[in-house]
Structure 1
Amino acid sequence: QMEVLQTTLAQEREKAQVAESRRRAKAARGIEHHALQQSAQFAARLFTHAAGPELETRLFDLLVDNLSSLSSDQIAALSTQWGEPPEVIMVASAYPFAEDRRQRLEETLTEVTGLSVPVDYQQTPDLLAGLRITIGAWVLHANVRDELKAFAEFAYAAG
């Protein structure tokens, strides 16, 4: 009978340890989630204040450079993602595009996509800085708003 009591006590201690371990892990996840939310809010405030034409120019240059350096395999993979060839390529930017930047972007898009279609430009200030390019079903996000949204979604998913 003493042996049964000792076994029962050992099992109860183990259950209590497991429960305490789970409680601590849940508390740690809660703290981590809160920290990620605060980080996302801080980044949003920071980038909202830092966003401007200079940042958009930098994002534009990075985008064009990266598109220009895609391999033929990467280009082939991209071309399968937009579905039917679009009649127009949509480019949204937070700030107006100068003609030389439009020309540079259009040359790069023609080179990468192999498409010879008009490019429709829209000014979308809520992007904060950067571009969103839509080619059929394919959307390329190279802007502050979408990056912040992805960061916030990551913070939410981590919690």
Structure 2
Amino acid sequence: MQIDTTTFVLEIVNFLILLWLLRRFLFAPVRAAIDRRQAAVAATLAEARQQAEAAAELKMQYEARMKDWDREREARRAQLDAELAAERDRQLASLRAALDTEREKQRAVQERREQEQHRALEARAADQGLRLAARVLERLSGPELDARIAAALVEDLDTLDVEQKVRLIEAAKSGAELDICSAHPLPDASYAQLRDALGAHLGTRAHATRRVDPQLIGGLRIALGPWLLQASLADELAYFRSSSPDAA
């Protein structure tokens, strides 16, 4: 087989023309497309890098914000715990104060109740004592006791002060009646002695009435106008009864 040089050359020329055509009309657009694709990929990668950097920055900001939130939450929790503790202490203090006040009230009520019971017992004991004394004095009283009390009254008239004597004299001058009351019939001698002693101190003999009142138990009760001399066992018992705790 013989190789035709012309044909070979032409083939070479055709091949070169084909290469030029391919390069001009096929490779150049492909290359341009590849360049555009690479540029787009590069732009996408750059944008992705920017987004990644932005995402990393956002992540850092988020983490920093989360840390700030954690610190703020812990601070608020600590503040809330402190406020709750303070409120609890205040409520406990208020409750303790209320309990102390209530205990003080209960103690005062108990003390007052005990005092009232003590006074009631004292009053009962005093009343029983007075009743016993009244029964004993009733058994011991008699005309002799009234006579002795009348004699003592005659002696006590000398101890009256000037003001008391002036009042007696004024009452006698006003026409007041002398009332001599005894628990038992007073012996005539004792009555006369008492009447004469009163007349001597009054400077005049006032009109006198003589009567008996068994409720006096023993002793005398002498009245001259507003002036009253109580020297009876009943009056003394009444005085002690009015001075007892229940009377207070």
What TM-score, normalized by structure 2, do the two folds share?
A: 0.56
What SS does structure 1 have at the residue aligned with 2:204? Answer: coil
Q: Is the 8 A contact 1:83 1:137 kept in 2?
A: no
Distance in 2, Cα, partners of 1:96 & 1:67: 22
When residues 43 and 8 of structure 1 are mapped into structure 2, their CA distance, relative to the original with a 3 A threshold, is same
When residues 150 and 86 of structure 1 are mapped into structure 2, their CA distance, relative to the original with a 3 A threshold, is farther
Q: Is the 8 A contact 2:147 2:186 kept in 1?
A: no
> Does 1:94 find its partner at 2:183?
yes
Mark the runs of 5 or more structure 2 residues left unpaired by the alignment.
1-90
The equivalent of 1:148 in structure 2 is 237
Mark the runs of 5 or more structure 1 residues left unpaired by the alignment.
none
Q: State the aligned residue count.
A: 157
Q: Is the 8 A contact 2:146 2:186 kept in 1?
A: no
Which of these residues, 134, 144, 149, is aligned with residue 59 of structure 1? 149
The equivalent of 2:131 in structure 1 is 41
Distance in 1, Cα, partners of 2:183 & 2:94: 73
When residues 17 and 83 of structure 1 are mapped into structure 2, their CA distance, relative to the original with a 3 A threshold, is farther
> Does 1:12 find its partner at 2:102?
yes
Which of these residues, 113, 126, 135, is aligned with residue 215 of structure 2? 126
When residues 52 and 98 of structure 1 are mapped into structure 2, their CA distance, relative to the original with a 3 A threshold, is closer
Moved runs in structure 1, 4+ residues, more than 4 A?
Answer: 77-80
Distance in 1, Cα, partners of 2:226 & 2:172: 6
Larger deviation: 90-99 or 8-17?
Answer: 90-99
Which has the larger helix fraction?
2
Residue 21 of structure 1 and its aligned partner are, at CA, apart by 1.4
Distance in 1, Cα, partners of 2:94 & 2:138: 65
Q: Which has the larger Rg?
A: 2
When residues 122 and 12 of structure 1 are mapped into structure 2, their CA distance, relative to the original with a 3 A threshold, is closer
What TM-score, normalized by structure 1, do the two folds share?
A: 0.82
Q: Is the 8 A contact 1:84 1:136 kept in 2?
A: no
Which has the larger strand fraction?
1
The equivalent of 1:2 in structure 2 is 92
Residue 83 of structure 1 and its aligned partner are, at CA, apart by 8.6
Tell me the C-alpha RMSD between the 2 structures: 2.4
Q: Among the aligned pairs, what percent are the same residue?
A: 31
What SS does structure 2 have at the residue aligned with 1:92? Answer: strand
Residue 59 of structure 1 and its aligned partner are, at CA, apart by 0.9
When residues 28 and 117 of structure 1 are mapped into structure 2, their CA distance, relative to the original with a 3 A threshold, is same
Q: Is the 8 A contact 2:178 2:225 kept in 1?
A: yes
When residues 13 and 41 of structure 1 are mapped into structure 2, their CA distance, relative to the original with a 3 A threshold, is same
Distance in 2, Cα, partners of 1:124 & 1:23: 42
Distance in 2, Cα, partners of 1:149 & 1:8: 47
Q: Name which structure has the greater RCO, CA cutoff 8 Å, separation 6+.
A: 1
